[in-house]
Amino acid sequence: MRKRPYSTLADGALWAPSRGAATTGLILIPPLIGDTATSQLHRFRRLRRRGMAIYTFAYPGHPGTTGRFSLRAAMLATGRHMETAAHLAGRHKIPLFGLGCCAAAIPLLAAAHAAPVKPTRLALLNPLVCFAPDSLLKAFWSYSRVYSHHPLGRLRTLPAYLDHLFPGIAKNRARFGALERRRIALPQLLVEILQDQILAGVWLAQTPVVCCYGQTDPLLQQLLPKGVMNYEAAIRHHCPRATFKPLPAAHFFASPRLRERLGRIICQAFTLASPEARW
């Protein structure tokens, strides 16, 4: 039987050691909404060839967890796991890094702000740090108009619209990816999105952050329609030491060449050097 490339910790988190001769860092990777911890290990497996260990987990509401999903619940879970990851990094005498994609940037930044031991550096990929409720409501109203001309009838399209905001995830009536719909705290989640105060007070004054984003990402264009300068300003509002790497891509960095470039950017951000390993 083939040995699994990771270990399961007592709290259900996954720890995958580096494949290099020496481990040069530990990356905490919060999952995407509706995703599993093992998916993160597969998605970023090549970083392990560059000397990195990976720590990841699942949010409440997902398989192997308790509780219901909301952004606040995801933030609390990420905070707990960041403390565990920091302890592991300290025990192995290696730096702790953080990597967040899309909406996973929200719990990552919140956890890094509150953590007693902060990550040395962060990398954000197509990060979503605010929701622009006015733009979101306008986009929903336009979307729902196709399905219903009655104001109350439009509310029935809300679950479908939320699905529309997160493409590329398998969905049915019972599940949003790996997330069970009955375990979503939907009223709380809607309040969190519409109030757009979920990262209020989050400020990483001393943490270097590299932000990579697709210049043609429809999700970012829909939620943040005021352009690139407004988007970068939203990131800098929480991460004043952020640097930006716009890439000619949509929401998913599908091109192998782009993924290769993205890997180099992440490695440079985390001061890694292993040219023989490909992304």
239 pLDDT more than 70: yes
Name the residue with higher pLDDT: 138 or 93.
93
d(CA 257, CA 65): 36
Q: Is 264 left (phi over 0), alpha (psi -120 to 50) or beta?
A: alpha
d(CA 254, CA 176): 22
C-alpha distances (whole Å) from 227 to each of 52, 134, 158, 216, 221 are 35, 15, 26, 11, 7
Amino acid at residue number 75: M
What are 140-163's pLDDT values in tens digits? 777 777 666 655 566 667 667 766
DSSP, res 158: H
DSSP, res 81: H
Q: Strand (E) positions, 148-231?
A: 175-176, 179-180, 209-214
C-alpha distances (whole Å) from 122 to each of 12, 112, 186, 220 are 23, 9, 29, 20
Model pLDDT, residue 194:
77
CA dihedral of residues 241, 119, 197, 144 (deg, nearest 10): 90
23 pLDDT more than 70: yes
pTM, entire model: 0.87
HSE-up of 35 (CA within 13 Å, CB side)? 23
Helices then strands (H, E): number in the chain?
10, 10
Mean pLDDT of 62-82: 94
Name the residue with higher pLDDT: 228 or 142.
142
HSE-up of 191 (CA within 13 Å, CB side)? 7
Q: Is 23 left (phi over 0), alpha (psi -120 to 50) or beta?
A: beta
d(CA 99, CA 123): 5
- 25 with 119: CB under 8 angstroms? no
Name the residue with higher pLDDT: 244 or 139.
244
Name the residue with higher pLDDT: 48 or 137.
48
Concatenating the DSSP letter of every residue in 200-217 gives TT---SS--EEEEEETT-
100 pLDDT more than 90: yes
- 87 with 128: CB under 8 angstroms? no
What are 165-183's pLDDT values in tens digits? 666 677 788 888 889 889 9
Model pLDDT, residue 108:
98
What are 26-70's pLDDT values in tens digits? 999 999 988 888 988 988 888 888 888 999 999 999 988 999 999
- Please state at what angle helix 133-145 crosses helix 158-165, rounded to 10 degrees: 120
